[in-house]
């Protein structure tokens, strides 16, 4: 492993790459461009005589025809397979090991949408640095993260992996994650390759249905979809993953415009591109390529450097395609150079193995759990707190009723997209409250309803314990009655609701945002007891909480908070920590409103924007950027340093923020911009600056934000290019996207 301070020079890398490349056969080159899943040691052959998947992979390793493996997390197994790779290759070239380190490996962080809700790049960077350290310790060199797809339809399950609806916030989160995973340079000790995905437009699937096509205008691509990818690349990301779906009629993995003209020529990306799982072969499935050989030719030609395959990779046919003249050898060489460069910069050619004893020490590091707990605390969003019900005062409580099956579910506390976790060290909400309140407050627990089940299983339900068990002896009526009676006898009821973790993520789109499995009926029955109710939500997308906002005084969005989620929940509920997170998406009232975004254009009849539907207000339940604290904040003295500037000049906006309450708390100060007129209609407001600050009770602070040409420039569909319009610009600063404190400045013509 190479320290950032002792990086190998570009010239040294190039010389070594060319030396190796000159010795590789065409089959070995195709092997360097092939990545296999590895699902375990070779076993018995399939019923039809087909070798087991592990046997196929190990046979390819022995021939020197594998460039990368994924899904290996045991350091001893990593070393075994790496030895097979090195010894099976004439030149001893090792494999890259990749894995879905989405929000932690052993120490699980809050899910990515929750990290985005922290609006705190420093917290995000620290969290992903922990994930990278654990991953590198067990032999993983490369994370298939961050996912930087903008998602504006919460029916899409993978909204949980991104940063929500806004490109400015999404770009900041993407850059922070890349810095956390990869460090200042590729090869930094204890870091891994960052792989932003899915390029591009995956989050726009029709109807929110995972894998379905995306049809996106050029203006939407340039102004909304591309900025987080550009930010990730600017932060140094050395890998990019393709998307599965058709983008405007062309499969993303076969789209030369995306990977050559945009990614490399425009964004300046110099790393390597990997397909998503089987996405190269899927070019044939899409009806785009004639057969798997043609699929491989098309993908490598447009710039997909590595194919992620389960078995029978399309890139295995590249040697015959070179022989027939269907693809130029130089296309393979270009991609092989990029793979070899990554291996050299990571130091793998000199030190391909991991220290198995050190891996155990790293995975057990208690400092990692502290980072996870802090991230969970800073990600939580207080949606509602009527009458100041929160924080709870333990000295005034004799008993607490904790209700809901996920309140004591370790697996659901972690959330989806984790595979190497340790349930024994996972803290549930029940365990967190019991530990926090001790013997002084009685904490009673009742699930109330049985775990919810999917109509169609998740593709991840193959992993043991991923799908919630449906207990055979569960008496629905009796268990709800027990929960209600527990609440009736308590001083306060904490009801935990949401989606079970296998209901969201990949292959987990929904046609509804309702609370599943009778949870709304349970909540209604508990509220009917008259006991004060706090609602805690475990989720990765907005759910239908209309009834709750009318009848439940306090609602805390905990998301899926990770390994230390229960400890964080207890600290938040009793006020040891004040919630400071903000929503990274607009929270609709009902699924019939989606997609709903704050940054829409003014359009016709803006006075009736909230009356577009005749049966219900077309306004959000909670606006983008919303989040309360255990204090209040006042904004004043908003000003700009200049009233008029030229197109390429910058205005500095200043605002005074005061903690007007009685407790220390965090506020995320948000700046929004609107261009009144120009060569296109512009959104009513767009986020262009934010800063999370901690203020003591009564403390005031003046914050400044630059508003430069980079904040005002946009891609214009009329002129087919980026423009900077002279115009009057409105500026608002406040605690969410409905901020009212505003001012203006003018941008004069050039």
Please list the active-site residues.
276
Report the distance separating Cα 70 and Cα 484, nearest Å: 47
Report the distance separating Cα 401 and Cα 330, nearest Å: 67
Report the distance separating Cα 571 and Cα 561, nearest Å: 13
H or E, element range at 694: strand 686-695
The SS3 of residue 107 is coil
Q: What is the CA radius of gyration of the chain?
A: 26
Q: Strand pairing of 727-734 and 742-747?
A: antiparallel
The SS3 of residue 606 is helix
Distances from the Cα of 29 to the Cα of 21, 106, 692, 736, angstroms: 8, 34, 48, 52
Q: How far apart are the first and last CA of the chain?
A: 51
CA angle 573, 577, 578 (to 5 degrees): 85
Q: What is the Cα 544 distance to its own chain's centre? A: 22
Distances from the Cα of 536 to the Cα of 106, 136, 383, 429, 559, angstroms: 25, 35, 10, 10, 9
Q: Residue 611 carries which DSSP code?
A: G
Give me the phi and psi of 493, to 5 degrees please: -115, 130
Report the distance separating Cα 452 and Cα 76, nearest Å: 37
| Cβ partners under 8 Å of residue 184, min gap 6 | 4, 236
* Total residue length of the chain: 750
Plot region of 192 (φ>0 → left; ψ -120 to 50 → alpha; else → beta):
beta
Positions of E strands within 66-196? 68-70, 96-99, 142-143, 193-194
| C-beta of residue 483 within 8 angstroms of C-beta of residue 526 | yes
Nearest to 704 by CA among 659, 649, 654, 668: 654
CA angle 535, 106, 412 (to 5 degrees): 25
Report the distance separating Cα 372 and Cα 110, nearest Å: 7
Nearest to 460 by CA among 403, 516, 502: 502
| C-beta of residue 388 within 8 angstroms of C-beta of residue 554 | no
**Sheet (strand 651-659) strand order:** 633-640, 651-659, 700-707
Report the distance separating Cα 598 and Cα 587, nearest Å: 10
Report the distance separating Cα 271 and Cα 338, nearest Å: 6
């Amino acid at each position: 492993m190479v320290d950032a301070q002792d990086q190998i020079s570009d010239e040294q890398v190039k010389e070594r790459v060319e030396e190796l490349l000159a010795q590789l056969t065409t089959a070995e080159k195709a092997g360097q461009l092939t990545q296999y899943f590895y699902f375990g040691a070779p076993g018995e052959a399939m019923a039809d005589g087909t070798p087991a998947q592990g046997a196929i992979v190990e046979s390819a390793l022995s021939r020197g025809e594998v460039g990368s493996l994924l899904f290996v997390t045991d350091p001893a197994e990593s070393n075994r397979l790496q030895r097979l790779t090195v010894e099976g290759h004439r030149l001893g070239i090792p494999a890259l090991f990749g894995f879905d380190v989405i929000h932690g490996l052993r120490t699980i962080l809050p899910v990515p949408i929750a990290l985005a809700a922290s609006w705190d790049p420093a917290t995000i960077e620290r969290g992903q640095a922990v994930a990278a350290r654990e991953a590198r310790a067990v032999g993983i060199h490369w994370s298939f993260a961050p996912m930087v797809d903008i998602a504006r339809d919460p029916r899409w399950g993978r909204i949980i992996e991104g940063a929500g609806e806004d490109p400015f916030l999404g770009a900041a989160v993407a850059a922070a994650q890349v810095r956390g995973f990869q460090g200042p340079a590729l090869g930094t000790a204890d870091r891994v390759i960052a792989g932003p995905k899915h390029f591009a437009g995956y989050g726009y699937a029709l109807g929110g249905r995972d894998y379905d096509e995306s049809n996106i205008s050029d203006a939407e691509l340039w102004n909304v979809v591309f900025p987080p990818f550009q930010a990730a690349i600017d932060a140094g990301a050395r890998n990019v993953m393709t998307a599965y779906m058709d983008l405007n009629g062309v499969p993303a993995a076969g789209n030369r415009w995306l990977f050559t003209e945009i990614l490399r020529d425009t964004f300046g990306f110099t790393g390597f591109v990997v397909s998503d799982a089987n996405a190269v072969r899927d070019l044939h499935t899409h009806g785009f390529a004639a057969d798997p050989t043609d699929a491989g030719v098309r993908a490598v030609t447009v710039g997909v450097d590595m194919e992620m395959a389960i078995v029978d990779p399309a890139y295995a046919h590249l040697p015959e395609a070179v022989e027939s003249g269907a693809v130029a050898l130089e296309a393979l060489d270009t991609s092989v150079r990029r793979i070899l460069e990554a291996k050299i910069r990571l130091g793998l050619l000199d030190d391909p193995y991991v220290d198995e004893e050190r891996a155990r020490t790293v995975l057990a590091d208690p400092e990692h759990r502290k980072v996870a707990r802090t991230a969970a605390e800073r990600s939580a969003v207080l949606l509602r707190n009527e009458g100041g019900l929160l924080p709870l005062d333990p000295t005034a409580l004799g008993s607490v009723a904790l209700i809901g099956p996920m309140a004591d579910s370790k697996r659901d506390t972690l959330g989806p997209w984790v595979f190497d976790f340790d349930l024994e060290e996972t803290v549930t909400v029940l365990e967190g409250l019991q530990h926090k309140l001790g013997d002084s407050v009685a904490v009673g627990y009742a699930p109330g309803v049985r775990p919810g089940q999917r109509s169609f299983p998740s593709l991840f339900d193959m992993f043991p314990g991923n799908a919630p068990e449906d207990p055979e002896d569960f008496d629905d009526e009796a268990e709800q009655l027990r929960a209600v009676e527990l609440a009736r006898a308590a001083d306060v009821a904490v009801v935990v609701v949401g989606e079970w973790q296998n209901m969201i993520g990949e292959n987990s789109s929904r046609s509804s945002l309702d609370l599943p499995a009778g949870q709304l009926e349970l909540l209604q029955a508990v509220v009917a007891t008259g006991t004060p109710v706090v609602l805690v939500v475990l989720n990765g997308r907005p759910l239908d909480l209309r009834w709750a906002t009318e009848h439940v005084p306090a609602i805390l969005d905990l998301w899926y908070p990770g390994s230390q989620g229960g400890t964080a929940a207890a600290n938040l509920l009793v006020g040891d920590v004040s919630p400071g997170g903000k929503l990274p998406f607009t929270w609709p009232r009902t699924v019939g409103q989606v997609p709903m975004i704050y940054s829409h254009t003014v359009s016709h009849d803006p006075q009736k924007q909230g009356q577009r539907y005749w049966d219900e207000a077309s306004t959000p339940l909670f606006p983008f950027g919303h989040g309360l604290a255990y204090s209040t904040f006042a904004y004043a003295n908003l000003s700009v340093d200049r009233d008029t500037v030229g197109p390429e000049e910058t205005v500095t906006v200043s605002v005074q923020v005061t903690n007007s309450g009685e407790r220390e708390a965090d506020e995320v100060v948000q700046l929004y911009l609107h261009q009144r007129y120009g060569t296109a209609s512009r959104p009513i407001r767009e986020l262009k600056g934010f800063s999370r600050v901690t203020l003591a009770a009564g403390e005031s602070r003046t914050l400044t934000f630059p508003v430069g040409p980079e904040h005002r420039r946009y891609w214009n569909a009329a002129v087919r290019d980026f423009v900077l319009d002279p115009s009057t610009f409105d500026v608002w600063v406040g605690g969410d996207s409905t901020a009212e404190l505003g001012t203006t400045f003018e941008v004069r013509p050039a």
